[in-house]
Structure 1
Amino acid sequence: MRGMPTSQPIPSSERASLADVKPPIALGPLDGRYRAAVSPLVDHLSEAALNRERLHVEVEWLVALTDGTPDGPAVPGAPRLSDAEKTYLRGVVADFAGAGIAEMAEIERETVHDVKAVEYFLKRRLAAAPGMLGDDTVLPGVGELVHFACTSEDINNLSYALMVRGAVTEVWLPAARALVEQIADMAREHAAVPMLSRTHGQPATPTTLGKELAVLAHRLRRQVRRIEGAEYLGKLNGATGTYGAHLAAVPTTDWPALSRSFVEGLGLTWNPLTTQIESHDWQAELYADVARFNRILHNLATDVWTYISLGFFTQIPVAGATGSSTMPHKVNPIRFENAEANLEISCSLLDTLSATLVTSRLQRDLTDSTTQRNIGPAFGHSLLAIDNVRRGLTALAVNTTLLDADLDENWEVLGEAIQSAMRAASVAGVAGMENPYERLKELTRGQRLTGDQMREFVAGLGLPDDVAERLAGMSPRSYVGLAEKLVADHL
C-alpha cells in the first residue's frame, strides 16, 4: 500500500562476524548442538586423535627397529633402547593433548604435510630427551630411525585402523549393545501383551508387543555380532608395497617378518599384499555392517513412531518440555524422528565411505585421505541416533486398554484360524469342509464381525466337537500362537 514503510534488511557486511567469536562456533551439529552425545568419539576419530595415533605408530616403529631380533637391531648400528627410554617415548603419546596439538599444527603450517609434521614433532622430543633422562640417553642420536623406510600411508593406514577399532570397541559397540539389551528387556516385559498386527497397514493376525520388539532386538543383535567380529587390517611395506627402500638400506633384515610382527603387535591383522595403500576393504565391510545396523534401527524408529501414532504407546511427558510451539496438548515423538534423520545421514556417509575407499588409482591416489576424515561424522550420527532411541524408549508406556479395544473390534482376523482348522479337518476326513478359504473370505472380507457372529459361524460348520470348542473359546486376544514362548526361547 502507498505510504506504508518498507523493510530495510541489514546487509551481511554490517552484521557481527560469527566466524570471529571465541571460543569458535561449530559449523556442524555434532560439534555444536549434539556435542554431549557424541563427545566420546573425539578421543578416537578427531583430527587430533589421528595425529596421536600417528605419533603412536611412529614411536612403536622406532622401538621395533631398535629391538629388532635376538640377533640385533633391524638397522645395524642402532642402539638398544632402555626401558626408561621406551617409557619416555610412549609418554610422548600418552601426554599428547592441547599444547602438543597446537605445536603439531604449527609445524604442519610450515611443512604443509601432516605426516611429516608428526615426524618432526617426535624428533623434537628425541632432542629434548636429555632434559628428562640425562645426557647419556641415546634418543637424540636415533632421529633418522623415525619414519625409517616408511611412506605416509604406512603410518596412516595403521593409525586409522587403531582409531576405528577404538571407536567401535570402546564407544559405538557399548552403546549399541546397551540399546539392544534395552529393547530385549522391553520385549521380555511385554512378551504376553496381545496386539493386533498390521500387514499392509490393515488388521491382521494378532501377535504380542513383546514378540514384535523381540524381532527387532534379534535383528540388531545379529549385526552387533558381525561388527564384534570385524577384522582391522594394517600394512607396513613401503611406497609400493615391495619393501624396496627397506632392502636397499638393509638387505639382511627379514622385513616382511618384522612388518608382520609389528602390525600384529598393534593388535591388527597383517595384510601382506598391498599397493602403497592398505586396500581398505576391511573398512568397507565394517561400514556396511554398521549401516545395516542403522537401517534396522531406522525400522524400529519408524515402527515405534507408528505405534505412538496409533496410540499403542503413550509418551511420558517431561516436566517443562514443550511439544508444539502452538498446540500445548502435544507430546511429539521427537526422539524417534531425530533418530531417523541421523541414521539416514550416517548411512549416506557410511555408504560413500564403503564405495569410495575400495578404489585407488593404480598404486595411490589421495581420495581416501579426505574420505577417511568423515569416518567420525558417520559414526557420530549413528551414535546420536542410538542415544535418541534409548531416551525415547525410556519415555514410553504401553496403552493396554487401547490394544485390547483394537483387538475386540477385529474379530474377523480369526478367519485365518478357522479356515486353517477346516483344512486340517478336511485332511482328517471330516465331511463338509469344502472350500474353507472361500467361505471365510465371503464371511469376513471387508467386514467387521462380532464375537457372537464368529462363534455362530463356527457352530454351524460341523467340525469335531473338540475343534469347535477350541475355536469357540478363541478370541483375537488369545490368538497369538507361540509369541510369548518365542520371546522366552530366542531372546
Structure 2
Amino acid sequence: YSLALRDAVARVVVPALESLLRALAEKAYRERLTVMVARTHGRPAVPTTLGKELAVHAYRLLASLRRVGDARLPGKVSGAVGTYAGLVEVFGDEALDVSRRLVESLGLVHWLATKQVIPHDDVSRLLHELALASMLLVDLCRDLWLLSTLGLVYPRPRGVGSSTMPQKSNPVELENAEGNLETASNMLSFLASRLLVSRLQRDLSDSTIRRNYGVALAHLLIGAKNLAAYLERMEVDREEIKLDLERHPEILAEAVQIRARLRGVDLLEEIRALGTGGAGYLERLAALLEMRGLRASEIIPRSAEEYLGLAPLIAELVYRLVHGERRGG
C-alpha cells in the first residue's frame, strides 16, 4: 500500500495540483493591479486587489504541496509479529541490516518497531495533508463563488447552461470542484484517523478501509481538474468592480482615521458615527476633517489605488515563488 499510495500521489495527484497552482498564480499575477473591495464578515472593509486575494490561496496551496513533497512512507520486513525471528533464523546478526536495506531500496522509510502491520502514522500524516489541501481548495471555490454572486467575476459562456434560462452561465465546474474536494477531505481525514488503530497485532477492519485510498484521491483529482477548468473560463467584470468601488467609499475610512491619528487627532468614533457609506459619504467625511482642523485633501486618499499597501507586490512575490518551485528554486 505504501508503494501504491506513494506513486499515485507523486505521479497523478501532485502534478494535477501543481498545474492548478501555476494557473492560480498566473491569474493572481495578471490581476495584481485589479483594485476591488475587500470584504470581512461579508461587508465592505478596505481596498485590495483581486490578484492579492488569489495569491493568498496560491500561497496556501504551495505550502501544502511542499509538505506533501516532504512526506516519506514506511515499509517493514520484520516477521509475523515484528520480532524479526524468522529473519534471524536466516540471516543471524545481519537480520536487522538486511531488513533495513531491503525497505530502503524501495524508497521507503524503515520502521524498526512494528506489530504484524506497520503503524499507519506516516501515511496518516500524508493523508491529513492531502485532506488539508482539499479544504484549502474548497475555501478558494467558495471565495470565487461569492465573487461570482457579487457579479465581480463570471464564467465565460460555453455550450451548456440552464435548460430554461438562456441568459445564465453557471459556475458548474466551480460547484463540482467544491463538492468533490469536500468529499475528498472528509474521506482522507477519516482514513488518516481510523487507520491509526489496529487491535493487538492486527485485525482486518483496516483492509477494506484502505481500499478507499483510490476513491478519496479520485475525488481530489476531479475537484482539482474542475477548479482548473473554472479558472481557465473565469472572466473579470471590470466595470462591475469599478461600480462596486464607487458604491463603497467607506472603504477609505481606515486610511483616514490612521492618517488623522498620525497628526494627533483621534476620529475613530466620529467616523463610525458617519455610518457605513452611501451617497455623500466622502463629503461628510471631508466636513468632519475640516471641522477638526485637518485638510481633507491631505487625509482622504484620492482613490482606492492609493491605499493598497503591498497588495500588488504580494501577488507578484507569490507568482515568483510558484515559478521558482517549478524550476526547483
- Fold shared, TM-score > 0.5 on shorter chain: yes
Is the contact between residue 180 and residue 217 of structure 1 (CA under 8 Å) also seen in structure 2? yes
Is the contact between residue 154 and residue 171 of structure 2 (CA under 8 Å) also seen in structure 1? no
TM-score by length of 1: 0.63
Match of 2:112 in 1: 272
Match of 1:306 in 2: 146
Q: Secondary structure at 2:306's aligned position in 1?
A: coil
Is the contact between residue 82 and residue 116 of structure 2 (CA under 8 Å) also seen in structure 1? yes
Matched residues in 2 for 1:251 and 1:190: separation? 64
Residues 139-173 of structure 1 deviation map (CA, whole Å, 9 limit, x = unaligned):
xxxxxxxxxxxxxxxxxxxxx11111111111111
Match of 1:439 in 2: 270
Match of 1:294 in 2: 134
How many Å apart are 1:234 and its aligned residue?
0.5
Is the contact between residue 288 and residue 350 of structure 1 (CA under 8 Å) also seen in structure 2? yes
Aligned: 1:164 with 2:35: no
Q: Secondary structure at 1:272's aligned position in 2?
A: coil
Q: How does 1:22-101 map to 2 (within 5 A)?
A: none
Match of 1:260 in 2: 100
CA RMSD of aligned residues (A): 1.6
Matched residues in 2 for 1:440 and 1:304: separation? 31
How many Å apart are 1:251 and its aligned residue?
5.5
Matched residues in 2 for 1:315 and 1:223: separation? 27
Match of 1:149 in 2: none
Residues 67-105 of structure 1 deviation map (CA, whole Å, 9 limit, x = unaligned):
xxxxxxxxxxxxxxxxxxxxxxxxxxxxxxxxxxxxxxx
Is the contact between residue 288 and residue 351 of structure 1 (CA under 8 Å) also seen in structure 2? yes
Aligned mate of 1:204, from 30, 40, 45:
45
Q: How does 1:95-244 map to 2 (within 5 A)?
A: 160-244=1-85
How many Å apart are 1:219 and its aligned residue?
0.7
Gaps of 5+ in 2: 320-329
Aligned: 1:340 with 2:175: no
Is the contact between residue 419 and residue 440 of structure 1 (CA under 8 Å) also seen in structure 2? yes
Is the contact between residue 322 and residue 328 of structure 1 (CA under 8 Å) also seen in structure 2? no
Matched residues in 2 for 1:472 and 1:418: separation? 6
**CA 1:488/1:251 → structure 2, altered by over 3 Å: closer, same or farther?**
closer
Matched residues in 1 for 2:220 and 2:88: separation? 44
Match of 2:313 in 1: 485
Matched residues in 2 for 1:448 and 1:362: separation? 71
Structure having greater relative contact order (Cα 8 Å, sep ≥ 6): 2
**CA 1:448/1:238 → structure 2, altered by over 3 Å: closer, same or farther?**
farther
How many Å apart are 1:314 and its aligned residue?
2.1
How many Å apart are 1:481 and its aligned residue?
1.9
Is the contact between residue 231 and residue 269 of structure 1 (CA under 8 Å) also seen in structure 2? yes
Is the contact between residue 404 and residue 477 of structure 1 (CA under 8 Å) also seen in structure 2? no
Matched residues in 2 for 1:472 and 1:264: separation? 64
How many aligned positions are there?
Answer: 319
Letter in 1 for 2:311: A
Matched residues in 1 for 2:31 and 2:243: separation? 17
Q: Secondary structure at 2:92's aligned position in 1?
A: coil
Gaps of 5+ in 1: 1-159, 427-432
* Mean Cα deviation higher: 179-188 or 481-490: 481-490
How many Å apart are 1:215 and its aligned residue?
0.5
How many Å apart are 1:419 and its aligned residue?
1.0
Match of 1:352 in 2: 190
Match of 1:109 in 2: none
Matched residues in 1 for 2:221 and 2:98: separation? 37
How many Å apart are 1:366 and its aligned residue?
1.0
Larger Rg computed on CA atoms:
1
Matched residues in 1 for 2:133 and 2:122: separation? 17
Is the contact between residue 196 and residue 203 of structure 1 (CA under 8 Å) also seen in structure 2? yes
Is the contact between residue 415 and residue 444 of structure 1 (CA under 8 Å) also seen in structure 2? no
Aligned: 1:375 with 2:213: yes
Residues 266-316 of structure 1 deviation map (CA, whole Å, 9 limit, x = unaligned):
111111110000101111100100010000100000111111111111221
Matched residues in 2 for 1:390 and 1:490: separation? 18
Q: Secondary structure at 2:39's aligned position in 1?
A: strand
Aligned mate of 1:245, from 60, 65, 86:
86
TM-score by length of 2: 0.92
Q: Secondary structure at 1:198's aligned position in 2?
A: strand
Aligned mate of 1:365, from 198, 203, 216:
203
Letter in 2 for 1:344: E
